[in-house]
Amino acid sequence: MSEKSNKLAELGEFGLIKSLHAKCRSTSSDVLIGIGDDAAAIRPQKQNTLITSDMMIEGIHFDLSFTTFHQLGHKFLAVNISDIFAMGGSPKHFIVSIGIPPEVKVSDIKDLYSGIMKIAKQHKISLIGGDTCTSPKGLTLSGTLLGSTKQPITRAGARAGDSIYVTAELGDSAMGLNLLQRSSRKVLKFSSSSPGLKLKKKHLLPGPTPLKNRSKVTSMIDLSDGLLSDLSHICDESSLGAVIYEEQVPVSKELIIMSKKLGLDPLQLALKGGEDYALLFTSPNNIRANAFKIGEIIPKGRYIVDSIGRKITFKAEGYDHFIKT
Ligand code: ADP
Ligand code: MG
């Protein structure tokens, strides 16, 4: 990608693809043909293949006034990785389709791909292809990630009596977004350890982590739309109910500090704020390392038990693209 040509219009689609080819060449032995031909070719895998797809649309999923292209590239692949982890799989091959508005600079696209490639390397993922188009308005990204698993873990396997777990503290990303929207400034470095900065980082650079010991896991989902919404998917698919204990929902000290400052309720952010990209799972085992137990699967009904023992019915509240709040 030539730094001399500032706008993509000057480099053209083929110039862009050529430079991507050079930058993103796969060295993985299971990729027979990567970027550069009419289709990619990969060797058959020993395990089952998982396929997931996620779109990110400017103005809906991201705001370039406080997101750098590098951060966007990271998050774009991270949200796809999170779906593969939610099925109990390992991510392998990524396909990227982009619609680019004419004003976007070549260096921006280069930054986007360096963000994608950085997290791809961390997880040993190969970028094997995609498609490139101009977009009359707004940047559009669509990613398809292939993964592998011996045994997919679905949303439908929960059983009454199972415990409900989450793998991380919740609500940080929602608070981070709130802070970013207030300041509308780009955070280029995260060298300071201020609570606000930590929360912004959680929003901009989510770090999905797989669940290591999955042998007794009965159902799993990643937390993208908010705890209540995502737990409702497990209840719906498993035809069961759930009870969660307010006091057991894990929240970070940074979230508590910033909530106090802004007069917000950290619990509401943990229950309904989305984009945590942690895992929510059920298991009959009562104690699990590296996860927080927040409740139980019950035959019927959906409740939150508050700090003084009251049972409050909950609905699937969280982010829904087609419902205006
Ligand atoms: P075709 O016209 O046959 O669709 P393209 O010229 O669009 O072919 O693509 C050529 C090669 O570049 C293919 O391997 C394709 O997968 C890859 N490619 C195109 N756009 C992208 C992109 N945005 N990211 C990664 N790979 C891409
Ligand atoms: Mg094409």
CA angle 49, 142, 59 (to 5 degrees): 145
Give the closest residue (by CA) to ligand 1 atom 20: 131
Q: Using a 6 Å cutoff on CB, does residue 35 contact ligand 1? A: yes
In angstroms, the CA 11 to CA 283 distance is 53
Query: Please, are residues 164 and 231 in contact by the beta-carbon 8 Å criterion?
Result: yes
118 φψ region: left (φ > 0), alpha (ψ -120 to 50), beta (else): alpha
Q: What is the pTM of this model?
A: 0.93
Tell me the H-state helices in the chain: 8-23, 69-86, 106-122, 172-183, 195-204, 227-238, 253-262, 266-272
The percent of residues above 90 in pLDDT, for the chain, comes to 80
In angstroms, the CA 104 to CA 5 distance is 12
Q: What is the pLDDT of residues 266-316, one digit of tens each?
A: 999 999 999 999 999 999 977 777 899 999 999 999 999 999 999 999 987
In angstroms, the CA 264 to CA 195 distance is 15
Query: Please, are residues 296 and 238 in contact by the beta-carbon 8 Å criterion?
Result: no
pLDDT tier at 322 (50, 70, 90 boundaries)? low
The tokens 């990567």 sit on which residue? 34
Asked whether the CA dihedral 211, 164, 269, 56 is positive or negative, the reply is: positive
In angstroms, the CA 204 to CA 215 distance is 32
3 DSSP 8-state letter = S
The percent of residues above 70 in pLDDT, for the chain, comes to 94
Give the closest residue (by CA) to ligand 1 atom 27: 130
Query: In the structure encoding, which two tokens stand for residue 60, read together?
Result: 């809906």
pLDDT tier at 3 (50, 70, 90 boundaries)? very low
pLDDT tier at 171 (50, 70, 90 boundaries)? very high
pLDDT at 286: 72
Q: Which residues does 255 contact at the CB level (< 8 Å), separation at least 6? A: 169, 171, 172, 175, 199, 266, 269, 270
pLDDT mean over 40-49? 96
Q: Which atom of ligand 1 is nearest to the CA of 40?
A: 14
In angstroms, the CA 239 to CA 259 distance is 35
pLDDT at 72: 98
Pocket test for ligand 1, best of 32, 106, 113, 132 (most atoms within 8 A of CB): 132
pLDDT at 290: 84
Q: Which residue has the higher pLDDT, 315 or 59?
A: 59
List, edge to edge, every strand of the sheet that includes 163-166: 219-222, 279-283, 163-166, 292-298, 241-245, 302-305, 311-313
pLDDT at 317 over 80: no
Q: Which of 149, 140, 150, 69 is nearest to 105 (CA)?
A: 69
Give the closest residue (by CA) to ligand 1 atom 3: 38
CA angle 207, 40, 81 (to 5 degrees): 15
In angstroms, the CA 70 to CA 73 distance is 5
Dihedral, CA atoms, 309, 226, 86, 217, nearest 10 degrees?
Answer: 10
Q: Which of 146, 150, 143, 91 is nearest to 122 (CA)?
A: 91
Bridge-based pairing of strands 126-134 and 90-100 is parallel
pLDDT mean over 221-231? 97
pLDDT at 190: 84
pLDDT tier at 320 (50, 70, 90 boundaries)? low
pLDDT mean over 52-72? 97
Ligand nearest to the CA of 17: 1
Q: Using a 6 Å cutoff on CB, does residue 36 contact ligand 1? A: yes
